[in-house]
Chains A and B, each alone.
Chain A
């Protein structure tokens, strides 16, 4: 009997987290809501275990305050993005908590009757954007497996969104880029790698075509479609996609990607002057981008301007590992989505 009571007590303790811990967590969320400063807001949570986070997250979900849920989800997204380059496993833990929080913003189908269509649409967009940004964070460090987990959740929420379709295509395209037959010694690995690349590029193309059909004005889909053709070695087909994407691009990140991919194309076509211009444009948009630095200094070196190449490379090492660095490392971190979520939380 005593043992049974003890077991119930333990279970109760597990189910009911330390009230002060929940309050500490809620205060951190409130601080983030007020200041927008994720790094400062999470200081009281330093040293927390995954279980402590889980208990606090469940407590906030039970409270069902949409504003608090959205802010907490955004805070977890910020933490995950900050650590994704250091530990993808750690980032996943934060994103999993955040995913539960943002899912709770969207009421289950059974109780949606009282919710206006406009509000429902808004909540759907928040959840889809949140999952899309999480996927893009993993993609920024080329972790396609984890990116797919969150992109699939975004697809379930908003299957016809051009941005979500594009993220799905990017996962295949980035993985195709990593599957390079030239990397391998053995013929078997070379053939296998080549087949895998071809298969992934077909899937990426399907996603990008669907995205372009869903929203012809969305620039990222043609930009990445140009990259698909580039990876296939079809430079003639790549160019018009990149030009179209570049023409549509208004966001700096989209302009950056269009410039980088166009530069890569021009370099392969041995047009070093044009490639230099493209990479210089990219570096102006993102002065901390290691990719742009590597690309431009390589072109300068190959053009016989080694001194200029050295200047660019040497200036770069003062770059700081802040958000912009990650956003422009590969240009896949969905900075616009993140900023939109932040603005909503701060409203």
Chain B
């Protein structure tokens, strides 16, 4: 307690400075989510067990949009740069070794990005903060990671929504991906888990969830979030395993197929259920469950 008290007086004395470093963003000049859809892009993972399935072409996939079969314009693998939003839990429960391991894992991930990949960093405890806006410069992200401190409760539901809404203003030519890490369940969000899943479905952003699970109980939050975002849940049983796991996520992202099609035979507005299946090939497909087009 003594050490804690001493540390906190220091914190109070430098409170204004810390608050000033919280990061800032300019207001968005224009919306990203478009009200009409000319081309639909679906980010799909095809795995055979733990291994990505390579060598698939347009003829390997069968795609339906609200039940109507679609003709694929293009299928590409690992050619489009990533627009990676790293969303990290920095709540009090991560204090000590877990945070050290998390920082090491995140630094390694950032260092492994290709030069044309972009990344941003958003952190959350009680407060959700955009620590670094999207950039191809690795230095500010590494610097922000080194400065992370673990404190406060967990607002993961609010963080998901705010991260989705901070996706790059122009992500054309890139694959927007959110990779969110947490070690526990939400304890201080306004939004419910169900609402954050709804928002994820609407966003069209690929979402991977990395969880540090040290207890026996599991929640369905991570699974539902990954499902809504067309990604996967990656569970680490110890903080030491995070670096390897982050690397596996990046490898999986590199092995994803980007399917594009021009919707035909469907009503444009509203929610579109999309299914992606394999034909003439074997593997498990993971893709986002659909997309939303706001009425004109």
Interface residues on A, range: 35 or more
Tell yes or no: A99 within 8 A of B by CB: no
Tell me the residues in window 246-276 of chain A with beta carbons closer than 8 Å to chain B beta carbons: 260
- A322–B189 contact, CB under 8 A? no
| Docked CA distance A79–B194 (Å) | 36
Tell yes or no: B195 within 8 A of A by CB: yes
> 8 closest pairs, A vs B, by CB?
A307-B31, A306-B33, A304-B294, A313-B165, A90-B8, A291-B190, A50-B2, A49-B2
What distance in Å separates the Cβ of A139 from its nearest Cβ neighbour in chain B? 11
A49-B6, A309-B165 given. 13 additional CB < 8 A pairs? A39-B13, A39-B16, A50-B2, A50-B5, A85-B152, A86-B152, A88-B92, A185-B218, A185-B219, A290-B158, A292-B190, A301-B199, A318-B25
What distance in Å separates the Cβ of B143 from its nearest Cβ neighbour in chain A? 18
| Docked CA distance A94–B187 (Å) | 23
Q: Which of B31, B161, B193 contacts A294 (CB 8 A)?
A: B161
Q: Which of B5, B28, B217 contacts A94 (CB 8 A)?
A: B5
- Known contacts being A49-B5, A86-B11, A94-B5, is A183 close to B151, with CB within 8 Å? no
Tell yes or no: B30 within 8 A of A by CB: yes
Tell yes or no: B198 within 8 A of A by CB: yes
| Docked CA distance A290–B156 (Å) | 12
- Annotate B1-44 by CB proximity to A: 1 below 8 A, 0 otherwise: 11111111111110110111011111110111101000000000
Tell yes or no: B207 within 8 A of A by CB: no
- B199–A182 contact, CB under 8 A? no
Residue numbers in A under 8 Å from B6 (CB-CB)? 46-50
- A93–B162 contact, CB under 8 A? no
Q: Which of A142, A260, A298, A304 contacts B153 (CB 8 A)?
A: A142
Tell yes or no: B127 within 8 A of A by CB: yes
Tell yes or no: A213 within 8 A of B by CB: no
Q: Which of B9, B127, B188, B193 contacts A142 (CB 8 A)?
A: B188
- Annotate B244-278 by CB proximity to A: 1 below 8 A, 0 otherwise: 00000000000000000000000000000000000
| Docked CA distance A238–B243 (Å) | 48
**27 A–B contacts from the bound complex (CB under 8 Å):** A42-B12, A46-B6, A46-B13, A48-B5, A48-B6, A49-B6, A50-B4, A79-B9, A85-B152, A87-B4, A141-B152, A184-B218, A291-B158, A294-B157, A298-B191, A301-B202, A302-B202, A307-B33, A310-B33, A311-B31, A317-B128, A317-B129, A317-B130, A320-B22, A321-B18, A321-B19, A329-B188
Tell yes or no: B61 within 8 A of A by CB: no
Residue numbers in A under 8 Å from B83 (CB-CB)? none
- B12–A184 contact, CB under 8 A? no
- B190–A294 contact, CB under 8 A? yes
Main secondary structure of the interface of A (DSSP, over half): helix
Residue numbers in B under 8 Å from A178 (CB-CB)? 187
Residue numbers in A under 8 Å from B26 (CB-CB)? 314
Residue numbers in A under 8 Å from B292 (CB-CB)? 304
- B33–A83 contact, CB under 8 A? no
- A48–B9 contact, CB under 8 A? yes
- Known contacts being A90-B4, A307-B33, is A141 close to B188, with CB within 8 Å? yes
Tell me the residues in window 173-218 of chain B with beta carbons closer than 8 Å to chain A beta carbons: 185-195, 198-199, 202, 217-218
| Docked CA distance A311–B2 (Å) | 44
- A85–B32 contact, CB under 8 A? no
What distance in Å separates the Cβ of B42 from its nearest Cβ neighbour in chain A? 19
Q: Which of A48, A295, A308 contacts B191 (CB 8 A)?
A: A295
What distance in Å separates the Cβ of B265 from its nearest Cβ neighbour in chain A? 23
What distance in Å separates the Cβ of B266 from its nearest Cβ neighbour in chain A? 17
- Annotate B283-296 by CB proximity to A: 1 below 8 A, 0 otherwise: 00000000010110
